[in-house]
Chain A
Amino acid sequence: MTKPLEVEQETSLKVGNVATKSYALQESALVKWSLITISLIFLALFLILPLVSIFVTALEKGWATYVASIADPDALAAIKLTLTVVLIVVPLNAIFGIVAAWAITKFSFKGKNVLITLIDLPFAVSPVIAGLVFILLFGAQGLFGEWLFQNDIKIVFALPGIVIATMFVTFPFVARELIPLMQMQGITEEEASISLGASGWKTFFFVTLPNIKWGLLYGLILCNARTIGEFGAVSVVSGHIRGMTNTMPLHIEILYNEYQFTAAFAVASLMSILAIITIIIKNIIEWKAKDV
Protein backbone atom coordinates (compact mmCIF):
# COMPACT_ATOMS: atom_id res chain seq x y z
CA MET A 1 0.00 0.00 0.00
CA THR A 2 2.70 2.43 0.97
CA LYS A 3 5.17 1.43 -1.66
CA PRO A 4 3.34 2.50 -4.78
CA LEU A 5 2.34 5.65 -3.01
CA GLU A 6 5.93 6.66 -2.66
CA VAL A 7 6.62 5.99 -6.27
CA GLU A 8 3.68 8.06 -7.31
CA GLN A 9 4.64 10.97 -5.17
CA GLU A 10 8.11 10.85 -6.54
CA THR A 11 7.02 10.91 -10.14
CA SER A 12 4.44 13.57 -9.71
CA LEU A 13 6.99 15.67 -7.92
CA LYS A 14 9.43 15.23 -10.74
CA VAL A 15 6.93 16.25 -13.37
CA GLY A 16 5.55 19.01 -11.28
CA ASN A 17 3.31 21.42 -13.10
CA VAL A 18 4.26 20.41 -16.59
CA ALA A 19 1.18 19.41 -18.59
CA THR A 20 2.42 15.93 -19.51
CA LYS A 21 0.99 13.19 -17.36
CA SER A 22 3.15 11.49 -14.83
CA TYR A 23 3.84 7.80 -15.15
CA ALA A 24 1.44 6.71 -12.44
CA LEU A 25 -1.37 8.61 -14.05
CA GLN A 26 -1.25 6.61 -17.21
CA GLU A 27 -2.60 3.26 -18.18
CA SER A 28 -0.28 0.45 -19.05
CA ALA A 29 0.95 0.32 -22.62
CA LEU A 30 -1.26 -2.69 -23.18
CA VAL A 31 -4.40 -0.81 -22.23
CA LYS A 32 -3.30 2.21 -24.19
CA TRP A 33 -2.63 0.38 -27.41
CA SER A 34 -5.71 -1.81 -27.17
CA LEU A 35 -7.85 1.31 -26.72
CA ILE A 36 -6.19 2.89 -29.73
CA THR A 37 -6.71 -0.28 -31.74
CA ILE A 38 -10.36 -0.51 -30.74
CA SER A 39 -10.87 3.11 -31.78
CA LEU A 40 -9.17 2.61 -35.10
CA ILE A 41 -11.06 -0.58 -35.94
CA PHE A 42 -14.35 1.05 -35.02
CA LEU A 43 -13.60 4.11 -37.14
CA ALA A 44 -12.41 1.96 -40.00
CA LEU A 45 -15.61 -0.06 -40.07
CA PHE A 46 -17.96 2.85 -39.68
CA LEU A 47 -16.24 5.79 -41.32
CA ILE A 48 -13.27 4.91 -43.45
CA LEU A 49 -14.71 1.93 -45.32
CA PRO A 50 -17.86 3.76 -46.47
CA LEU A 51 -15.69 6.63 -47.65
CA VAL A 52 -13.30 4.35 -49.51
CA SER A 53 -16.19 2.43 -51.08
CA ILE A 54 -17.61 5.66 -52.46
CA PHE A 55 -14.37 6.52 -54.22
CA VAL A 56 -13.72 2.99 -55.44
CA THR A 57 -17.19 2.70 -56.98
CA ALA A 58 -16.95 6.18 -58.43
CA LEU A 59 -13.73 5.36 -60.25
CA GLU A 60 -14.73 1.83 -61.21
CA LYS A 61 -15.35 2.69 -64.82
CA GLY A 62 -12.38 4.95 -65.19
CA TRP A 63 -11.56 8.59 -64.97
CA ALA A 64 -13.40 9.58 -68.15
CA THR A 65 -16.74 8.31 -66.89
CA TYR A 66 -16.09 10.05 -63.61
CA VAL A 67 -15.52 13.41 -65.26
CA ALA A 68 -18.47 12.90 -67.60
CA SER A 69 -20.80 12.17 -64.67
CA ILE A 70 -19.84 15.38 -62.96
CA ALA A 71 -19.84 17.52 -66.08
CA ASP A 72 -23.34 16.30 -67.01
CA PRO A 73 -25.69 19.31 -67.36
CA ASP A 74 -28.09 17.99 -64.75
CA ALA A 75 -25.22 17.40 -62.33
CA LEU A 76 -23.93 20.91 -62.93
CA ALA A 77 -27.42 22.33 -62.41
CA ALA A 78 -27.62 20.42 -59.13
CA ILE A 79 -24.25 21.77 -58.02
CA LYS A 80 -25.30 25.29 -58.95
CA LEU A 81 -28.58 24.99 -57.08
CA THR A 82 -26.86 23.64 -53.99
CA LEU A 83 -24.39 26.55 -54.02
CA THR A 84 -27.23 29.05 -54.46
CA VAL A 85 -28.97 27.59 -51.44
CA VAL A 86 -25.75 27.84 -49.43
CA LEU A 87 -25.27 31.49 -50.41
CA ILE A 88 -28.73 32.38 -49.13
CA VAL A 89 -29.06 30.14 -46.11
CA VAL A 90 -25.67 30.45 -44.47
CA PRO A 91 -25.56 34.28 -44.20
CA LEU A 92 -29.14 34.44 -42.94
CA ASN A 93 -28.57 31.87 -40.24
CA ALA A 94 -25.28 33.53 -39.32
CA ILE A 95 -27.01 36.87 -38.73
CA PHE A 96 -29.65 35.12 -36.70
CA GLY A 97 -27.06 33.19 -34.72
CA ILE A 98 -25.17 36.34 -33.75
CA VAL A 99 -28.27 38.29 -32.83
CA ALA A 100 -29.75 35.43 -30.83
CA ALA A 101 -26.49 34.76 -29.02
CA TRP A 102 -26.25 38.46 -28.15
CA ALA A 103 -29.76 38.51 -26.75
CA ILE A 104 -29.30 35.34 -24.77
CA THR A 105 -25.85 35.89 -23.36
CA LYS A 106 -25.73 39.62 -22.71
CA PHE A 107 -28.99 39.90 -20.83
CA SER A 108 -30.84 37.92 -18.25
CA PHE A 109 -34.53 37.33 -18.71
CA LYS A 110 -37.15 34.80 -17.86
CA GLY A 111 -37.74 31.80 -20.06
CA LYS A 112 -34.20 31.77 -21.40
CA ASN A 113 -33.97 28.00 -21.13
CA VAL A 114 -37.16 27.53 -23.08
CA LEU A 115 -35.88 29.92 -25.73
CA ILE A 116 -32.63 27.98 -26.06
CA THR A 117 -34.59 24.74 -26.30
CA LEU A 118 -36.77 26.22 -29.02
CA ILE A 119 -33.70 27.32 -30.96
CA ASP A 120 -32.37 23.77 -30.66
CA LEU A 121 -35.64 22.23 -31.74
CA PRO A 122 -35.02 21.97 -35.51
CA PHE A 123 -32.00 19.92 -34.66
CA ALA A 124 -34.11 17.13 -33.16
CA VAL A 125 -37.01 17.38 -35.59
CA SER A 126 -37.03 14.64 -38.19
CA PRO A 127 -36.10 16.05 -41.61
CA VAL A 128 -39.26 14.46 -42.96
CA ILE A 129 -41.36 16.57 -40.60
CA ALA A 130 -39.27 19.62 -41.46
CA GLY A 131 -40.28 19.18 -45.08
CA LEU A 132 -43.87 18.35 -44.23
CA VAL A 133 -44.48 21.54 -42.25
CA PHE A 134 -43.62 23.72 -45.22
CA ILE A 135 -45.98 21.71 -47.40
CA LEU A 136 -48.68 22.32 -44.80
CA LEU A 137 -47.85 26.01 -44.87
CA PHE A 138 -47.13 26.79 -48.50
CA GLY A 139 -48.50 23.78 -50.38
CA ALA A 140 -51.54 24.33 -52.55
CA GLN A 141 -53.70 22.78 -49.83
CA GLY A 142 -51.85 24.63 -47.10
CA LEU A 143 -52.54 27.73 -45.08
CA PHE A 144 -51.28 30.18 -47.70
CA GLY A 145 -51.76 27.85 -50.66
CA GLU A 146 -54.74 29.48 -52.30
CA TRP A 147 -53.29 32.97 -51.97
CA LEU A 148 -49.94 31.91 -53.40
CA PHE A 149 -51.64 30.19 -56.32
CA GLN A 150 -53.75 33.26 -57.09
CA ASN A 151 -50.72 35.50 -57.02
CA ASP A 152 -48.59 33.04 -58.93
CA ILE A 153 -45.90 32.85 -56.28
CA LYS A 154 -44.11 29.56 -56.10
CA ILE A 155 -42.54 28.52 -52.82
CA VAL A 156 -42.63 24.76 -52.48
CA PHE A 157 -41.31 22.79 -55.46
CA ALA A 158 -39.13 25.77 -56.30
CA LEU A 159 -36.02 27.46 -54.94
CA PRO A 160 -37.71 29.34 -52.05
CA GLY A 161 -39.12 26.12 -50.61
CA ILE A 162 -35.75 24.40 -50.75
CA VAL A 163 -34.12 27.46 -49.16
CA ILE A 164 -36.61 27.75 -46.36
CA ALA A 165 -36.60 24.04 -45.53
CA THR A 166 -32.81 24.06 -45.44
CA MET A 167 -32.91 27.17 -43.27
CA PHE A 168 -35.11 25.34 -40.82
CA VAL A 169 -32.82 22.34 -40.63
CA THR A 170 -29.63 24.36 -40.21
CA PHE A 171 -31.25 26.99 -38.02
CA PRO A 172 -29.51 26.20 -34.67
CA PHE A 173 -25.97 25.68 -35.88
CA VAL A 174 -24.42 29.14 -35.60
CA ALA A 175 -26.42 30.13 -32.53
CA ARG A 176 -25.57 26.89 -30.80
CA GLU A 177 -21.86 27.44 -31.39
CA LEU A 178 -21.89 31.06 -30.21
CA ILE A 179 -24.09 30.87 -27.12
CA PRO A 180 -21.75 28.82 -24.89
CA LEU A 181 -18.74 30.75 -26.15
CA MET A 182 -20.24 34.17 -25.43
CA GLN A 183 -21.58 32.94 -22.13
CA MET A 184 -18.08 31.98 -21.10
CA GLN A 185 -16.66 35.32 -22.16
CA GLY A 186 -19.15 37.22 -20.04
CA ILE A 187 -20.05 40.85 -20.51
CA THR A 188 -17.27 42.75 -18.78
CA GLU A 189 -15.43 43.71 -21.96
CA GLU A 190 -18.57 44.99 -23.64
CA GLU A 191 -19.52 46.93 -20.55
CA ALA A 192 -16.12 48.55 -20.41
CA SER A 193 -16.38 49.54 -24.04
CA ILE A 194 -19.87 50.99 -23.60
CA SER A 195 -18.99 52.90 -20.47
CA LEU A 196 -16.04 54.40 -22.34
CA GLY A 197 -18.57 55.85 -24.73
CA ALA A 198 -18.47 53.45 -27.65
CA SER A 199 -21.75 52.73 -29.41
CA GLY A 200 -23.34 49.29 -29.33
CA TRP A 201 -22.48 48.80 -32.99
CA LYS A 202 -18.87 49.74 -32.45
CA THR A 203 -18.65 47.58 -29.36
CA PHE A 204 -19.92 44.62 -31.30
CA PHE A 205 -17.48 45.08 -34.14
CA PHE A 206 -14.36 45.93 -32.18
CA VAL A 207 -14.89 44.01 -28.95
CA THR A 208 -17.31 41.12 -29.40
CA LEU A 209 -16.61 40.05 -32.97
CA PRO A 210 -12.85 39.56 -32.53
CA ASN A 211 -13.60 37.45 -29.48
CA ILE A 212 -16.06 35.18 -31.19
CA LYS A 213 -14.65 35.05 -34.71
CA TRP A 214 -13.35 31.49 -34.49
CA GLY A 215 -16.52 30.18 -32.92
CA LEU A 216 -18.53 32.01 -35.56
CA LEU A 217 -16.44 30.57 -38.34
CA TYR A 218 -16.81 27.12 -36.88
CA GLY A 219 -20.57 27.53 -36.69
CA LEU A 220 -20.63 28.76 -40.28
CA ILE A 221 -18.75 25.71 -41.44
CA LEU A 222 -21.08 23.30 -39.67
CA CYS A 223 -24.07 25.17 -41.05
CA ASN A 224 -22.54 25.10 -44.50
CA ALA A 225 -21.85 21.35 -44.37
CA ARG A 226 -25.37 20.58 -43.31
CA THR A 227 -26.83 22.91 -45.93
CA ILE A 228 -24.97 21.14 -48.69
CA GLY A 229 -25.92 17.69 -47.50
CA GLU A 230 -29.54 18.04 -46.40
CA PHE A 231 -31.63 15.31 -47.99
CA GLY A 232 -34.84 14.40 -46.16
CA ALA A 233 -36.42 17.81 -45.78
CA VAL A 234 -35.42 19.00 -49.23
CA SER A 235 -36.67 15.78 -50.77
CA VAL A 236 -40.18 16.53 -49.49
CA VAL A 237 -40.35 20.08 -50.85
CA SER A 238 -38.26 19.82 -54.00
CA GLY A 239 -40.57 18.17 -56.53
CA HIS A 240 -37.54 16.54 -58.17
CA ILE A 241 -37.66 18.49 -61.41
CA ARG A 242 -34.53 17.56 -63.30
CA GLY A 243 -32.09 20.36 -63.83
CA MET A 244 -34.26 22.73 -61.79
CA THR A 245 -35.06 21.68 -58.25
CA ASN A 246 -32.64 18.84 -57.72
CA THR A 247 -29.92 19.55 -55.20
CA MET A 248 -26.77 17.43 -55.16
CA PRO A 249 -28.03 14.82 -52.68
CA LEU A 250 -31.28 14.48 -54.64
CA HIS A 251 -29.37 14.19 -57.88
CA ILE A 252 -27.40 11.32 -56.36
CA GLU A 253 -30.62 9.56 -55.45
CA ILE A 254 -31.95 10.02 -58.96
CA LEU A 255 -28.82 8.68 -60.60
CA TYR A 256 -28.94 5.76 -58.22
CA ASN A 257 -32.53 5.09 -59.22
CA GLU A 258 -31.55 5.18 -62.88
CA TYR A 259 -29.08 2.36 -62.36
CA GLN A 260 -26.24 4.80 -63.00
CA PHE A 261 -24.40 3.65 -59.93
CA THR A 262 -21.02 4.87 -61.08
CA ALA A 263 -22.35 8.34 -61.79
CA ALA A 264 -24.21 8.40 -58.48
CA PHE A 265 -21.06 7.56 -56.61
CA ALA A 266 -19.08 10.06 -58.68
CA VAL A 267 -21.29 12.91 -57.49
CA ALA A 268 -21.24 11.37 -54.02
CA SER A 269 -17.46 11.38 -54.07
CA LEU A 270 -17.54 15.04 -55.04
CA MET A 271 -19.68 15.68 -51.98
CA SER A 272 -17.30 13.60 -49.88
CA ILE A 273 -14.44 15.76 -51.08
CA LEU A 274 -16.43 18.83 -50.05
CA ALA A 275 -16.97 17.20 -46.66
CA ILE A 276 -13.27 16.47 -46.30
CA ILE A 277 -12.34 20.03 -47.25
CA THR A 278 -14.84 21.24 -44.66
CA ILE A 279 -13.19 19.07 -42.04
CA ILE A 280 -9.71 20.31 -42.97
CA ILE A 281 -10.80 23.95 -42.76
CA LYS A 282 -12.47 23.21 -39.45
CA ASN A 283 -9.30 21.71 -38.06
CA ILE A 284 -7.22 24.66 -39.25
CA ILE A 285 -9.67 26.94 -37.48
CA GLU A 286 -9.33 24.92 -34.32
CA TRP A 287 -5.54 25.23 -34.33
CA LYS A 288 -5.74 28.93 -34.93
CA ALA A 289 -8.33 29.31 -32.22
CA LYS A 290 -6.09 27.44 -29.82
CA ASP A 291 -3.11 29.61 -30.67
CA VAL A 292 -5.02 32.80 -29.97
Chain B
Amino acid sequence: MELTLKKRKKNTIIPGFTLTLGYTMLYLSIIVLLPLSMVFFNTLSMSWSEFWETIADPRAVASYKLSFGTALAAGIINVIFGTIIAWVLVRYQFPGKRIVDGLVDLPFALPTAVAGIALATLYSPNGWVGQFFDFKIAFTPLGIIIALTFIGLPFVVRTVQPVLQNLSSEIEEASASLGATRLQTFTKVIFPELLPAIITGFSLAFARSLGEYGSVVFIAGNMPMKTEITPLIIMTKLEQYDYVGATAIATVMLITSFVLLLLINIIQWYTNRKFNLK
Protein backbone atom coordinates (compact mmCIF):
# COMPACT_ATOMS: atom_id res chain seq x y z
CA MET B 1 0.00 0.00 0.00
CA GLU B 2 2.69 2.40 1.11
CA LEU B 3 4.75 1.62 -1.96
CA THR B 4 2.00 2.02 -4.50
CA LEU B 5 0.93 5.27 -2.97
CA LYS B 6 4.39 6.65 -3.26
CA LYS B 7 4.66 5.54 -6.80
CA ARG B 8 1.39 7.13 -7.76
CA LYS B 9 2.29 10.39 -6.17
CA LYS B 10 5.22 10.66 -8.47
CA ASN B 11 3.24 10.48 -11.69
CA THR B 12 0.05 12.01 -10.45
CA ILE B 13 -2.58 12.96 -12.95
CA ILE B 14 -4.01 15.70 -10.78
CA PRO B 15 -3.67 19.05 -12.51
CA GLY B 16 -2.54 22.42 -11.27
CA PHE B 17 0.82 21.72 -9.68
CA THR B 18 2.71 24.62 -11.19
CA LEU B 19 -0.14 27.01 -10.68
CA THR B 20 -1.05 26.20 -7.13
CA LEU B 21 2.56 26.04 -6.05
CA GLY B 22 3.28 29.21 -7.99
CA TYR B 23 0.42 31.06 -6.36
CA THR B 24 1.43 29.76 -2.94
CA MET B 25 4.99 30.91 -3.41
CA LEU B 26 3.92 34.28 -4.77
CA TYR B 27 1.48 35.04 -1.98
CA LEU B 28 3.89 33.71 0.61
CA SER B 29 6.66 35.90 -0.76
CA ILE B 30 4.59 39.05 -0.83
CA ILE B 31 2.88 38.73 2.52
CA VAL B 32 5.53 36.93 4.56
CA LEU B 33 8.97 36.54 3.08
CA LEU B 34 9.56 39.95 1.56
CA PRO B 35 8.42 41.77 4.71
CA LEU B 36 10.44 39.50 6.99
CA SER B 37 13.53 39.86 4.84
CA MET B 38 13.38 43.57 5.60
CA VAL B 39 14.44 42.76 9.14
CA PHE B 40 17.62 41.11 7.91
CA PHE B 41 18.12 43.73 5.25
CA ASN B 42 18.00 46.52 7.82
CA THR B 43 20.27 44.68 10.19
CA LEU B 44 22.87 44.42 7.44
CA SER B 45 23.57 48.13 7.77
CA MET B 46 25.19 47.36 11.12
CA SER B 47 28.69 46.15 11.51
CA TRP B 48 29.14 42.80 13.20
CA SER B 49 30.44 44.38 16.40
CA GLU B 50 27.56 46.88 16.54
CA PHE B 51 25.13 44.04 16.02
CA TRP B 52 26.73 42.02 18.76
CA GLU B 53 26.79 44.98 21.12
CA THR B 54 23.07 45.57 20.59
CA ILE B 55 21.95 42.01 21.04
CA ALA B 56 24.36 41.27 23.91
CA ASP B 57 23.41 44.41 25.83
CA PRO B 58 22.74 43.42 29.47
CA ARG B 59 19.16 44.70 29.28
CA ALA B 60 18.50 42.73 26.12
CA VAL B 61 20.07 39.62 27.59
CA ALA B 62 17.98 40.00 30.74
CA SER B 63 14.91 40.26 28.54
CA TYR B 64 15.79 37.07 26.63
CA LYS B 65 16.17 35.26 29.92
CA LEU B 66 12.86 36.63 31.13
CA SER B 67 10.97 35.91 27.90
CA PHE B 68 12.50 32.48 27.67
CA GLY B 69 12.05 31.64 31.34
CA THR B 70 8.45 32.80 31.60
CA ALA B 71 7.50 31.14 28.30
CA LEU B 72 9.11 27.94 29.55
CA ALA B 73 7.34 28.13 32.91
CA ALA B 74 4.00 28.87 31.26
CA GLY B 75 4.63 26.04 28.79
CA ILE B 76 5.29 23.57 31.59
CA ILE B 77 2.21 24.68 33.50
CA ASN B 78 0.20 24.25 30.33
CA VAL B 79 1.65 20.83 29.63
CA ILE B 80 0.61 19.60 33.06
CA PHE B 81 -2.81 21.21 33.29
CA GLY B 82 -3.47 21.12 29.55
CA THR B 83 -2.91 17.37 29.46
CA ILE B 84 -5.11 16.88 32.51
CA ILE B 85 -7.84 18.99 30.93
CA ALA B 86 -7.56 17.12 27.63
CA TRP B 87 -7.74 13.83 29.52
CA VAL B 88 -10.78 14.93 31.51
CA LEU B 89 -12.52 16.18 28.39
CA VAL B 90 -11.92 12.97 26.43
CA ARG B 91 -12.34 10.33 29.11
CA TYR B 92 -14.90 11.56 31.59
CA GLN B 93 -18.52 12.60 31.57
CA PHE B 94 -19.59 15.38 33.86
CA PRO B 95 -22.21 18.13 33.80
CA GLY B 96 -21.17 21.20 31.83
CA LYS B 97 -18.48 19.35 29.95
CA ARG B 98 -19.45 20.82 26.61
CA ILE B 99 -19.20 24.34 27.96
CA VAL B 100 -15.78 23.63 29.44
CA ASP B 101 -14.68 22.17 26.14
CA GLY B 102 -15.75 25.31 24.30
CA LEU B 103 -14.18 27.57 26.88
CA VAL B 104 -10.72 26.19 26.19
CA ASP B 105 -10.73 28.14 22.92
CA LEU B 106 -11.41 31.43 24.65
CA PRO B 107 -7.79 32.65 24.80
CA PHE B 108 -7.62 32.09 21.11
CA ALA B 109 -10.64 34.16 20.28
CA LEU B 110 -10.26 36.86 22.91
CA PRO B 111 -8.13 39.85 21.87
CA THR B 112 -4.84 39.77 23.71
CA ALA B 113 -5.17 43.34 24.96
CA VAL B 114 -8.52 42.52 26.53
CA ALA B 115 -7.00 39.48 28.18
CA GLY B 116 -4.10 41.55 29.48
CA ILE B 117 -6.32 44.22 30.98
CA ALA B 118 -8.66 41.67 32.55
CA LEU B 119 -5.81 39.63 34.02
CA ALA B 120 -4.05 42.72 35.37
CA THR B 121 -7.30 43.77 37.03
CA LEU B 122 -7.76 40.35 38.61
CA TYR B 123 -4.24 39.69 39.79
CA SER B 124 -3.21 43.17 40.91
CA PRO B 125 -2.82 43.52 44.70
CA ASN B 126 -6.33 44.94 45.03
CA GLY B 127 -7.91 42.63 42.45
CA TRP B 128 -10.37 39.79 42.99
CA VAL B 129 -7.63 37.20 43.13
CA GLY B 130 -4.56 39.27 43.97
CA GLN B 131 -5.94 40.45 47.31
CA PHE B 132 -5.72 36.93 48.72
CA PHE B 133 -1.98 36.76 48.27
CA ASP B 134 0.68 38.32 50.48
CA PHE B 135 3.05 38.71 47.57
CA LYS B 136 2.57 40.60 44.35
CA ILE B 137 1.46 38.66 41.28
CA ALA B 138 0.74 41.27 38.66
CA PHE B 139 3.79 43.43 37.80
CA THR B 140 6.21 40.60 38.57
CA PRO B 141 7.45 37.72 36.39
CA LEU B 142 4.62 35.74 37.96
CA GLY B 143 2.12 38.02 36.24
CA ILE B 144 3.84 37.44 32.91
CA ILE B 145 3.65 33.69 33.46
CA ILE B 146 -0.08 33.97 34.13
CA ALA B 147 -0.67 35.93 30.94
CA LEU B 148 1.39 33.47 28.91
CA THR B 149 -0.37 30.49 30.50
CA PHE B 150 -3.64 32.04 29.41
CA ILE B 151 -2.37 32.53 25.86
CA GLY B 152 -0.84 29.06 25.54
CA LEU B 153 -3.46 26.80 27.11
CA PRO B 154 -5.52 26.02 23.98
CA PHE B 155 -2.43 24.89 22.08
CA VAL B 156 -1.63 22.04 24.45
CA VAL B 157 -5.23 20.97 24.98
CA ARG B 158 -6.10 21.09 21.31
CA THR B 159 -3.08 19.09 20.17
CA VAL B 160 -3.34 16.43 22.88
CA GLN B 161 -7.12 16.01 22.68
CA PRO B 162 -7.40 14.47 19.20
CA VAL B 163 -4.52 12.07 19.83
CA LEU B 164 -6.12 10.91 23.03
CA GLN B 165 -9.41 10.47 21.19
CA ASN B 166 -7.82 8.33 18.51
CA LEU B 167 -5.84 6.23 20.93
CA SER B 168 -7.13 2.70 20.51
CA SER B 169 -8.38 1.15 23.69
CA GLU B 170 -6.80 -2.15 22.72
CA ILE B 171 -3.30 -1.25 23.81
CA GLU B 172 -4.61 -0.12 27.17
CA GLU B 173 -6.53 -3.36 27.51
CA ALA B 174 -3.45 -5.30 26.54
CA SER B 175 -1.39 -3.47 29.09
CA ALA B 176 -3.98 -4.01 31.81
CA SER B 177 -4.39 -7.67 30.96
CA LEU B 178 -0.65 -8.10 31.30
CA GLY B 179 -1.01 -6.98 34.88
CA ALA B 180 -0.01 -3.36 34.71
CA THR B 181 -1.60 -1.01 37.22
CA ARG B 182 -3.51 1.95 35.92
CA LEU B 183 -0.61 4.26 36.70
CA GLN B 184 1.82 1.97 34.93
CA THR B 185 -0.47 1.78 31.92
CA PHE B 186 -0.56 5.55 31.84
CA THR B 187 3.17 6.16 32.22
CA LYS B 188 4.37 3.25 30.10
CA VAL B 189 1.71 2.99 27.42
CA ILE B 190 -0.48 6.06 27.12
CA PHE B 191 2.04 8.76 27.91
CA PRO B 192 4.59 7.72 25.25
CA GLU B 193 1.79 7.84 22.69
CA LEU B 194 0.83 11.32 23.82
CA LEU B 195 4.37 12.61 24.03
CA PRO B 196 4.77 13.87 20.45
CA ALA B 197 1.47 15.74 20.75
CA ILE B 198 2.48 17.17 24.10
CA ILE B 199 5.82 18.31 22.73
CA THR B 200 4.13 19.87 19.71
CA GLY B 201 1.59 21.61 21.90
CA PHE B 202 4.29 22.81 24.22
CA SER B 203 6.43 24.13 21.38
CA LEU B 204 3.50 25.93 19.79
CA ALA B 205 2.57 27.54 23.09
CA PHE B 206 6.21 28.33 23.73
CA ALA B 207 6.78 29.91 20.33
CA ARG B 208 3.66 31.99 20.69
CA SER B 209 4.61 33.06 24.22
CA LEU B 210 8.08 34.22 23.23
CA GLY B 211 6.65 36.92 21.02
CA GLU B 212 3.50 37.76 22.95
CA TYR B 213 3.09 41.46 23.52
CA GLY B 214 -0.51 42.65 23.88
CA SER B 215 -1.48 40.75 26.98
CA VAL B 216 1.88 40.95 28.71
CA VAL B 217 2.52 44.71 28.70
CA PHE B 218 -0.54 45.35 30.83
CA ILE B 219 0.50 42.92 33.54
CA ALA B 220 4.31 42.92 33.36
CA GLY B 221 5.34 46.09 35.18
CA ASN B 222 8.04 46.62 32.53
CA MET B 223 10.99 47.11 34.89
CA PRO B 224 14.32 47.02 33.06
CA MET B 225 16.32 43.89 33.90
CA LYS B 226 13.38 42.47 35.87
CA THR B 227 10.08 42.40 34.02
CA GLU B 228 10.93 43.74 30.59
CA ILE B 229 10.12 41.22 27.82
CA THR B 230 11.99 41.14 24.52
CA PRO B 231 9.14 42.49 22.34
CA LEU B 232 9.01 45.47 24.68
CA ILE B 233 12.72 46.09 24.13
CA ILE B 234 11.97 46.25 20.41
CA MET B 235 9.16 48.73 21.06
CA THR B 236 11.42 50.78 23.34
CA LYS B 237 14.12 50.96 20.70
CA LEU B 238 11.59 51.98 18.07
CA GLU B 239 10.28 54.76 20.23
CA GLN B 240 13.79 56.09 20.57
CA TYR B 241 14.10 56.14 16.78
CA ASP B 242 16.63 53.31 16.91
CA TYR B 243 15.29 51.31 13.97
CA VAL B 244 18.47 49.37 13.39
CA GLY B 245 18.71 48.36 17.03
CA ALA B 246 15.08 47.22 16.93
CA THR B 247 15.68 45.10 13.84
CA ALA B 248 18.80 43.56 15.39
CA ILE B 249 16.79 42.27 18.34
CA ALA B 250 14.01 41.27 15.94
CA THR B 251 16.55 39.21 13.99
CA VAL B 252 17.42 37.25 17.10
CA MET B 253 13.74 36.60 17.79
CA LEU B 254 12.99 35.65 14.19
CA ILE B 255 15.77 33.09 14.01
CA THR B 256 14.65 31.59 17.31
CA SER B 257 11.06 31.32 16.02
CA PHE B 258 12.13 29.72 12.78
CA VAL B 259 14.30 27.13 14.51
CA LEU B 260 11.51 26.34 16.95
CA LEU B 261 8.98 25.89 14.17
CA LEU B 262 11.31 23.73 12.15
CA LEU B 263 11.72 21.57 15.22
CA ILE B 264 7.95 21.25 15.63
CA ASN B 265 7.53 20.30 12.00
CA ILE B 266 10.31 17.75 12.20
CA ILE B 267 8.66 16.17 15.23
CA GLN B 268 5.34 16.07 13.41
CA TRP B 269 6.89 14.73 10.26
CA TYR B 270 8.73 12.08 12.24
CA THR B 271 5.64 10.92 14.13
CA ASN B 272 3.56 10.90 10.94
CA ARG B 273 6.09 8.64 9.34
CA LYS B 274 6.08 6.41 12.35
CA PHE B 275 2.32 6.05 12.10
CA ASN B 276 2.47 5.42 8.38
CA LEU B 277 4.89 2.58 8.86
CA LYS B 278 2.57 0.83 11.28
Contact = CB atoms under 8 A, between A and B. Distances in A.
Whether chain B is bound by chain A comes out as yes
B8 A191 contact: yes
A253 B257 CA distance: 28
Contacts of B197: none
Interface stretch (A69-77, A104-112, A146-154): A104-112
Contacts of A185: none
Interface string B21-39: 1011001100111111011
Contacts of B48: none
Interface residues of B, number: 99
Max count, chain B CB within 10 A of own CB: residue among A51, A116, A229, A282: A229
Contacts of A231: 111-113, 213-214
A107 B21 contact: yes
Among B20, B212, B253, the one with the most A-chain Cβ atoms within 10 Å of its Cβ is: B20
B39 A136 contact: yes
Interface in A233-250: 235-236, 248-249
Interface in B191-230: 204, 207-208, 210-214, 230
Given A12-B173, A194-B14, A121 B214 contact: no
Interface in B1-48: 5, 8-10, 12-17, 20-21, 23-24, 27-28, 31-36, 38-39, 41-42
Contact of A35 (B10, B88, B121, B153): B88
Given A35-B84, A249-B114, A279-B106, A164 B235 contact: no
Contacts of A54: 114, 118
Contact of B111 (A22, A132, A134, A228): A228
Contacts of B108: 222, 225-226
Nearest to A100: B24
A9 interface: yes
A1 B179 contact: yes
Interface in B246-271: 246-247, 250, 253-254, 257-258, 260-262, 264-266, 269
A5 interface: yes
Q: Which interface residue of B100, B106, B260, B266 has the most chain A CB atoms within 10 A?
A: B106
Interface string B66-110: 000000000000000100110111011010001011111111111
Contacts of B121: 53, 57
B96 to A, nearest CB: 9
A47 B210 CA distance: 21
B63 interface: no
B98 A283 contact: yes
Report which residue of B8, B38, B182 has the largest number of chain A beta carbons within 10 angstroms of its beta carbon: B38
A99 B21 CA distance: 8
A115 B113 CA distance: 31
A51 B13 contact: no
A115 B102 CA distance: 32
A53 B81 CA distance: 23
B135 interface: no
A108 B9 contact: yes
Contacts of B128: 49, 53
A136 B42 contact: yes
A26 B186 CA distance: 11
> Residue among A24, A100, A279 with the most chain B CB within 10 A?
A279
A168 B8 contact: no
Nearest to A277: B109
Nearest to B16: A200
B115 interface: yes
A249 B112 CA distance: 8
B39 A133 contact: yes
B105 A194 contact: no
A286 B89 CA distance: 15
Given A107-B17, A249-B113, A129 B234 contact: yes
B115 A50 contact: yes
A271 B38 contact: no
A205 interface: no
B122 interface: yes
Contacts of A104: 24
A25 B36 contact: no
B62 interface: no
Given A128-B211, A187-B14, A268 B118 contact: yes
Contact of B106 (A47, A96, A264): A47
B177 interface: yes
A226 B254 CA distance: 21
A107 B32 contact: no
Given A35-B88, A132-B250, A252 B21 contact: no
A279 B169 contact: no
A100 B102 CA distance: 29
Interface string B149-161: 1100100000000
B14 A107 contact: yes
A100 B20 contact: yes
Contacts of B85: 39, 42-43
Nearest to B118: A50
Given A249-B111, A271-B114, A49 B38 contact: no
Which 5 A-B residue pairs are closest in the complex by CB-CB distance? A126-B211, A229-B111, A275-B109, A103-B20, A124-B257
6 contacts: A43-B103, A47-B104, A102-B20, A129-B211, A168-B32, A256-B117
